[in-house]
Amino acid sequence: MAIPYLTDEPLLDDYDEAIHQRASGVTLTLFGWLSAIVFPSFIVLSATPYFKWGPWTTILRNITGTIYITYALLVGYYRWRLN
């Protein structure tokens, strides 16, 4: 965290910011679509005797839930703040 204070030149410019915004947008879109397809598939499969929630699928379930809860809370917060 001390690097910005040790230099007089900007570390990131508008071009770098645009690249990071684009990369983060594509990353979130990719993971959003993957979780929108994979997670509901696991839910449907869990109703069958062929699938059980194992350690990795439980972790995936918890991470997906946490991401969407965080997103919903932040959307609500920013809508409240901007109004």
CA distance 42 to 37: 9
Digit-coded pLDDT (tens) for 5-34: 566 666 666 667 777 778 878 888 888 888
Digit-coded pLDDT (tens) for 28-59: 888 888 878 887 888 898 899 988 888 988 88
Residue 10 is encoded by which pair of tokens? Answer: 């900007």
The set of residues, in sequence order, having a beta carbon less than 8 Å from that of 36 and lying 6+ positions away, is none
pLDDT above 60: residue 1 = no
CA distance 6 to 35: 41
Residue 33 is predicted with a pLDDT of: 85
